[in-house]
Copies of this chain bind each other. A is one copy, B any other.
């Protein structure tokens, strides 16, 4: 008899990944999964790959059906978590995969999202210094954005160590299509995406304030690119060096012993395919011979370390379970 967890918004890609991870988790059991248009459908029809939960019927997304779970995962569209969370009993722990509670400054929220700022929850990135303990002590945790985790893991230790200049950070990050969600849109059709790379939200992406908040960067340009693959984020993060320190050594020291963040052996660069299905971030760093800039490349699976896997990692901490329970750092390739 496991700990009973609920997934609100289970019909999307992050929700489906939560279902897959919960189905394979040794200590968690699915109390209820909810959907909107898909309420009433079986999981086997919505997510044919999650065979072990195929006969579970999605309930409508309402506080009542979620209230008796030990922990609720919110996988709702940005801006919809706050209203629902407000109606859940305090006794229910909550991990929000959405953006609602990530930002400290209301101004940052209102710049990029509709509606008022709902507040700020514990930031769900256990690999940040001291954050693991804060998460374990929290009943409400805000998961990071998918781009944010890929960039923050690459950059935060370098700024904290005074090795990278927070004043001039340039990021180009490409994501697979699942990061754009499961809504039917022409620009996300396979015909439009296969064989094509396309930038979007150039010059103004909503993850920038989150990344600055999490890393201490004071000026950061990020250009997101949609890539012809279903999953994965590859982030190229460059910054001016402030010292002669080897950025790879700084990262290796920062993540020594971390189960899910790994600095690859010298000369081996991350491939997103190696993180497919894994709760893992792969990092490598060097100094550019021409410009002298620090270049860090980070690879994650946007649906796992970038969403559902990180959410389970946070839930494990909040529930007093082993942090790695139900998670693996091993990807599936090719």
Residues of A within 8 A of B (CB): 13, 16, 20, 23-24, 44-45, 47-52, 168-170, 172, 174, 176-178, 180, 182-186, 188-200, 202-204, 208-209, 212, 219-221, 223, 225, 227-232, 234, 236, 238, 262, 264-265, 268-278, 280, 282, 284, 286-293, 295, 297, 299, 328-334
For residue A302, give the distance in angstroms from its CB to the closest CB of chain B: 11
> In the bound complex, how far is the Cα of B221 from the Cα of A231, in angstroms?
27
Chain B neighbourhood of A273, CB < 8 A: 49, 192, 195-196, 198
Residue of B nearest to A179 (CB): B191
Pairs A–B under 8 Å by Cβ, sample size 18: A44-B268, A50-B330, A168-B168, A170-B238, A174-B197, A176-B191, A189-B190, A190-B193, A190-B194, A195-B272, A196-B229, A196-B272, A196-B274, A197-B299, A198-B270, A204-B290, A221-B295, A227-B227
Chain B neighbourhood of A333, CB < 8 A: 16, 47-49, 230
9 closest Cβ contacts across the A-B interface?
A: A196-B273, A49-B331, A172-B172, A190-B193, A221-B291, A191-B334, A197-B234, A184-B184, A49-B274
> In the bound complex, how far is the Cα of B333 from the Cα of A308, in angstroms?
13
> In the bound complex, how far is the Cα of B271 from the Cα of A284, in angstroms?
28
Chain B neighbourhood of A182, CB < 8 A: 186, 189, 191
Chain B neighbourhood of A170, CB < 8 A: 170, 238, 291, 293
Please tell me which one of the listed residues B197, B199, B329 contacts residue A229 in the complex, with CB atoms under 8 A apart. B197
Chain B neighbourhood of A176, CB < 8 A: 191, 195
